[in-house]
Amino acid sequence: MEQVYYLERGSSGCRQISLKTKLFEQRVIYLDEPVDSTTVNQAVQQFTLLAALDGKQPITLVINSPGGSIRDGLVLIDVMRSFSGPVRTVSLGIAASMAAVILAAGTRGQRFITPHSQVMLHQPLLAGGLPGGSCSEVESVARSLMERKQELDDLLVRFTGRPKQEIRRLTAKDTYLKADQAIRHGLVDAVAEGELLYDLMGGALV
């Protein structure tokens, strides 16, 4: 996604700075692209630096993503969960697939969703369809997918506090949840709008 820049005036003159950089200075990280090695590596680097600067102050992760790689998403979750301070997550628009799990991985009580945002859950998908080859190879791929599904379901049970059977129903097919439904199923804790949303997104500090 193309960066947006503006001129910031200071005592030593003007400097060109990207909006994401300015928001990062206020401890706000944006995940607004598919979850892959590039976006996750960037987010991990930002988390690591912010944790080194201050390990107790909150970090806010604003999510508007269709999801993507399970492997890369789990890397980001591991980093988020290792941070000693609170990680506030905000669904802004859509948190789908792996992005929904990342949303739920935020600190309990500090996971938010905007009024018209959606959360989408489903089973792991096989990119490119079933591979060619022997039956045993196809069986191995299917087994790996089922193991991934079990892993993600177990994480959602842990993050939401909801029964495993409820989570299995939600991930059995493409399930789109409105804000109140996402709250009811424990994926987020509250709706963010008005001044609260403005503050979470770093607007009051820019």
Q: Which residues of the chain register pLDDT less than 70?
A: 1-8, 10, 13, 17, 126-134, 136-138, 141-142, 204-206
Name the active-site residue from 65, 69, 117, 122: 122
**185 is an active site residue:** no
pLDDT, tens digit (0-9, with 9 covering 90-100), for 21-53: 788 888 999 999 999 999 999 999 999 999 999
pLDDT given at position 164: 96
The single-letter code of the amino acid at 181 is Q
Task: Identify the CATH number of the domain defined by range 5-123+173-200.
Answer: 3.90.226.10
Query: In this structure, what are the phi and psi dihedrals at residue 158, rounded to the nearest 5 degrees?
Result: -65, -45
Give the DSSP letter string of 108-155.
Answer: TT-EEE-TT-EEEE-----TTSSPPS-HHHHHHHHHHHHHHHHHHHHH
pLDDT given at position 130: 55
Name the active-site residue from 97, 136, 140, 144: 97
pLDDT given at position 206: 44
| Cα separation of the two ends of the chain | 21
**122 is an active site residue:** yes
pLDDT given at position 128: 54
Q: 28 vs 7, 25, 154, 195, CA distance in Å? A: 19, 7, 28, 16
pLDDT, tens digit (0-9, with 9 covering 90-100), for 3-27: 666 666 767 767 776 777 788 888 9
